[in-house]
Chains A and B, each alone.
Chain A
Amino acid sequence: MKVDLIFKIAAVGMITAILHIVLEKSGREEYAYLITLVGVIIVLGAVITLVSQLFTDVRVLFRLY
């Protein structure tokens, strides 16, 4: 089921949070920002496929052509 995507996103968020802390402690703020960006983009890729699937489902159901 698609429910595990919720946990996946939350886990990615926590890991990026830890990475952010680790990188910030060793004085590399620019990489920390980049890591957050990469995490958001990866998760966004998964979310967008799900949303587009929902939109096609709704389109088929309500005949919105």
Chain B
Amino acid sequence: MEIFQIAGIGIIATILIIILKQTRPEFTVLVSIVTGVIIFSYLLPKLAYVIDTIRNLSSRVNVDISYFNTLIKIIGIAYLVEFASQICRDADQDSIAMKIELAGKVIIMVLAIPVLLTLLDLIVKILP
């Protein structure tokens, strides 16, 4: 079970950070980044499995594949933004974290515009 490994890594990293915090606070951020990356890379294969399953399902129910790709991209951007902004928060840099989140939101909005346009088209078509 991976969950035991992940939990163990998290606890060990926390202990190391507490030890380092008194003498060298510069290294605590690096330790937390590496811990985050390692936990994330444990999760990536699982996520790949989920996405493959959803893709199979969508091809079966005959939905336009481009919309589905947009959805996947938005999820990916959300993950990355969360990852980066959490690292910034750990280092007490709330303002940078806010800006990263803002950038993520804007990019997600840009990605969503084609979907919005087709939705509007549909509404216009339906309306008499």
Contact = CB atoms under 8 A, between A and B. Distances in A.
**Chain A in direct contact with chain B (Cβ < 8 angstroms):** yes
B77 A64 contact: yes
Contact of A50 (B20, B31, B34, B47): B34
A47 interface: yes
A6 B41 contact: no
Contacts of B92: none
Contacts, number: 93
A16 B34 CA distance: 19
A47 B33 contact: yes
B27 A13 contact: yes
Contact of B37 (A7, A51, A64): A51
Contacts of B27: 9-10, 12-13, 16, 39-40, 43
Question: Size class of A's contact patch?
Answer: 20 to 34
A5 B13 CA distance: 11
Given A6-B38, A50-B37, A62 B30 contact: no
Given A43-B27, A64-B76, A54 B41 contact: yes
Interface in A9-29: 9-10, 12-14, 16-17, 20
B44 A40 contact: no
A12 B75 CA distance: 36
Interface of B: 9, 12-13, 16, 19-20, 23-24, 26-27, 30-31, 33-35, 37-38, 40-41, 44, 47-48, 51, 69, 72-73, 75-77, 79-80
